[in-house]
């Protein structure tokens, strides 16, 4: 709570992270599986003497380079920017606890960039005979290996957030890294990466003019969807079984906003498999629109899984350590007894600038800084906006608060983390809760004209002052 945060009123900051991260993960996992696909397809084409397939593979490699290194790298920067702005405390925690793993991942990513550029730029040299095919393939193997290692490193950090295992208690980073869901998640992500490689191969293969080559390339790409599918099924079941019972319950029953994504995952999974089978069987008649639909299905499969994983972690961003709003367990306990300002420099600065808490000042919940910023707005930005929006598309808080009187809303805030176990506890005193209640009721009023029910309960005894 000592870090600055972005305050999104229309959408929640969590939605911003979700959009950026899903797109990045979609491309990043394609980069992992695509590297394996490039090397294997080149080996197969040379072994079976298929120069036409090698020509398509050369064009596909250029496409692969542009998509993964340009869009993938930019979206990766976008993730770091968004998580640092929205949840800086959790970001700092993960960096400090896995600093050498992050450093290793960045080194392997650099190796990916260099090796892929070398692999792509030497395709023509290999075709013309200036470079031995074995050397070219070894460059591709370097890229593929670096991509898989990057996946392994990132996977250990991501799974720690949901299932930290013995890491927090032992203080051993290896216990944290090799946590209970490390292996099943790795199997799942590797299988999905291979399937995405096949989907993108179908997309570029559909443009091949020669019918025989197009049929061969399409069938090859379809196989990369069909066969890893069974590994994906096994990884999905293994991953779910490795989750603690309360996480399983959260995904299946507890939080209703997960249900649409669970259903989406259940429907898209067989749809992707059937798309691969259809592409293999109807390879002569496969057209670009169907390949686009298959790619969209792959994006939905990736997005639904990531949404389930992130939402199923509530109320934590790191299980048992940091809540989903970025407030640590220690900060929440201190704020509950001493007030939110005791753990937030921004609230302390607000109080100092407005004189909140002095004998002559009006109640803190109605004080405005420069006529606009309120204490409740600061509290909402720090503790609520990570998940909730104000009138936005994801978990809009206003319909939820509209059903409650100010007294009822204050009571609900007090019971968070106990009655509502999937929500983090409110980190603050009674005065902090009152300030947040007033802000939320005023937000309701701005979206729905009319009197605020029970607002008189919070009316100050003295007139509010600005600045």
Residues 114 and 160 both lie in one domain: yes
Per-residue pLDDT tens over the stretch 268-324: 999 999 999 999 998 888 888 899 999 999 999 999 999 888 888 888 888 888 998
| Residue 203: inside a domain | yes
Specify whether the CB–CB gap between 452 and 442 falls below 8 A.
yes
Residues 293 and 341 both lie in one domain: no
Please give the Cα distance from 141 to 131 (Å, whole number): 16
Specify whether the CB–CB gap between 189 and 148 falls below 8 A.
no
Burial of 109-124, coded b for 16+ CB within 10 Å and e otherwise, reads: bebbbebbeebbebbe
Residues 316 and 382 both lie in one domain: no
User: What residues have CB less than 8 Å from 404, skipping those under 6 apart?
Assistant: 412
Which of the listed residues 290, 323, 356 is the one where a domain comes to its end?
Answer: 323
Residues 397 and 294 both lie in one domain: no
Treating both helix axes as pointing N-terminal to C-terminal, what angle do 430-447 and 406-415 enclose, rounded to 10 degrees?
Answer: 130
Residues 270 and 385 both lie in one domain: no
Domain count along the chain: 2
Backbone angles phi, psi at 94, to 5 degrees: -65, -40
Three-state DSSP state, 297: helix
Write the burial class of residue 64 (CB in 10 Å: 0-12 exposed, 13-18 middle, 19+ buried): buried
Tokens of 16: 């911003």
Mean pLDDT of 12-24: 81
pTM for the full model?
Answer: 0.86
| Residue 4: inside a domain | no
Residues 277 and 344 both lie in one domain: no
Tokens of 343: 């753990």
395 Rama sector, left if φ>0, alpha if ψ -120 to 50, beta otherwise: left
Residues 287 and 390 both lie in one domain: no
- Other CB atoms closer than 10 Å to residue 414's CB: what's the count? 16
Mark out the alpha helices in 206-256 (DSSP H runs): 211-242, 245-249
Residues 215 and 304 both lie in one domain: yes
Tokens of 403: 């059903």
| Residue 6: inside a domain | no
Please give the Cα distance from 313 to 247 (Å, whole number): 7
The answer to whether residue 382 scores a pLDDT higher than 50 is yes
**Cα 126 to the chain's mean position, in Å?**
39
| Residue 465: inside a domain | no
Comparison of pLDDT for 343 and 232, the residue scoring more? 232
Q: How confident is residue 460, by pLDDT bands cut at 50, 70 and 90?
A: very low
Please give the Cα distance from 176 to 163 (Å, whole number): 9
Q: How confident is residue 467, by pLDDT bands cut at 50, 70 and 90?
A: very low
Residue 433, domain extent: 330-458
User: What residues have CB less than 8 Å from 397, skipping those under 6 apart?
Assistant: 384, 388, 389, 390, 440
Residues 342 and 267 both lie in one domain: no
The β-bridge partners of 322 are 318, 328
Q: Scanning the structure block, which residue is given the tokens 């983390």?
A: 417
Three-state DSSP state, 318: strand
| Residue 463: inside a domain | no
Residues 237 and 340 both lie in one domain: no
Per-residue pLDDT tens over the stretch 206-238: 888 888 888 999 999 999 999 999 999 999 999
The answer to whether residue 141 scores a pLDDT higher than 60 is yes
Treating both helix axes as pointing N-terminal to C-terminal, what angle do 13-47 and 72-86 enclose, rounded to 10 degrees?
Answer: 160
The β-bridge partners of 420 are 416
Please give the Cα distance from 9 to 382 (Å, whole number): 12
Look up the CATH number of the domain holding residue 359.
1.10.760
Rg, C-alpha atoms of the chain: 26
Look up the CATH number of the domain holding residue 161.
1.20.1630
Per-residue pLDDT tens over the stretch 97-128: 999 999 999 999 999 999 999 999 999 999 88
Residues 193 and 45 both lie in one domain: yes
Comparison of pLDDT for 35 and 465, the residue scoring more? 35
| Residue 3: inside a domain | no
Which of the listed residues 323, 350, 378 is the one where a domain comes to its end?
Answer: 323
Backbone angles phi, psi at 319, to 5 degrees: -50, 120
Specify whether the CB–CB gap between 197 and 34 falls below 8 A.
yes
Q: How confident is residue 59, by pLDDT bands cut at 50, 70 and 90?
A: very high
| Residue 8: inside a domain | no
Which of the listed residues 282, 299, 323 is the one where a domain comes to its end?
Answer: 323
| Residue 2: inside a domain | no
CA angle 299, 237, 292 (to 5 degrees): 15
User: What residues have CB less than 8 Å from 455, skipping those under 6 apart?
Assistant: 406, 438, 441
Q: How confident is residue 415, by pLDDT bands cut at 50, 70 and 90?
A: confident
Please give the Cα distance from 195 to 53 (Å, whole number): 20
Residues 226 and 273 both lie in one domain: yes
Output the pLDDT for position 169. 86
Output the pLDDT for position 459. 43
């Amino acid at each position: 709570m000592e870090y600055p945060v972005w305050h999104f009123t229309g959408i929640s900051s969590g939605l911003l992270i979700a959009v950026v991260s899903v797109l990045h993960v979609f491309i990043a996992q394609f980069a992992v599986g695509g590297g394996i696909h490039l090397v294997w397809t080149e080996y197969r084409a040379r072994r079976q003497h298929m120069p036409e397939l090698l020509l398509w593979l050369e064009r596909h490699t250029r496409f692969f380079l542009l998509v993964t290194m340009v869009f993938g790298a930019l979206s990766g920067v976008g993730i770091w920017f968004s998580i640092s702005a929205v949840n800086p405390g959790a970001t700092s925690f993960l960096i400090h606890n896995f600093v050498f793993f992050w450093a290793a991942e960045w080194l392997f990513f650099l190796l990916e960039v260099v090796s892929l550029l070398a692999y792509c730029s030497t395709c023509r040299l290999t075709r013309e005979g200036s470079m031995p095919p074995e050397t070219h393939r070894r460059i591709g193997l370097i890229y593929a290996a670096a991509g898989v290692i990057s996946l392994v490193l990132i996977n250990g950090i991501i799974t720690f957030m949901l299932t930290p295992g013995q890491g927090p208690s032992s203080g051993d980073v290896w216990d944290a890294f090799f946590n209970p869901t490390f292996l099943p998640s790795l199997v799942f992500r590797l299988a999905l990466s291979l399937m995405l490689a096949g989907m993108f191969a179908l997309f570029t293969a559909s443009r091949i003019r020669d019918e025989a080559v197009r049929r061969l390339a399409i069938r090859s790409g379809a196989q990369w969807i069909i066969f890893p599918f069974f590994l994906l099924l096994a990884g999905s079941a293994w991953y779910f079984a490795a989750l603690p019972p309360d996480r399983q319950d959260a995904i299946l029953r507890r939080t209703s906003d997960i249900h649409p994504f669970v259903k989406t995952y259940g429907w898209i999974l067989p749809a992707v498999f059937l798309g691969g089978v259809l592409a293999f069987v109807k390879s002569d008649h496969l057209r670009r629109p169907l390949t686009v639909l298959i790619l969209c299905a792959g994006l939905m499969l990736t997005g639904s899984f990531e949404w389930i994983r992130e939402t199923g972690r509530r109320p934590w961003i790191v299980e048992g350590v940091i809540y989903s709003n970025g407030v640590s367990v220690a900060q929440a306990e201190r704020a509950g007894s001493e007030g939110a300002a005791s753990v937030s420099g921004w609230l302390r600065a607000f109080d100092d600038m407005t004189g909140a808490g002095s004998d002559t000042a009006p109640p803190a919940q109605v004080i405005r800084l420069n006529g606009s910023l309120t204490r409740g707005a600061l509290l909402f930005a720090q503790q609520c906006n990570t998940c909730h929006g104000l009138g936005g598309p994801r978990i809009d808080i206003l319909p939820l608060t509209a059903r409650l009187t100010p007294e009822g809303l204050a009571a609900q805030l007090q019971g968070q983390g106990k009655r509502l176990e999937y929500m983090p506890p409110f980190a603050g005193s009674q005065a902090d809760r009152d300030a947040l209640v007033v802000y939320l009721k005023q937000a309701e009023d701005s979206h729905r004209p009319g009197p605020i029910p029970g607002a008189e309960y919070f009316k100050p005894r003295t007139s509010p002052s600005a600045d």
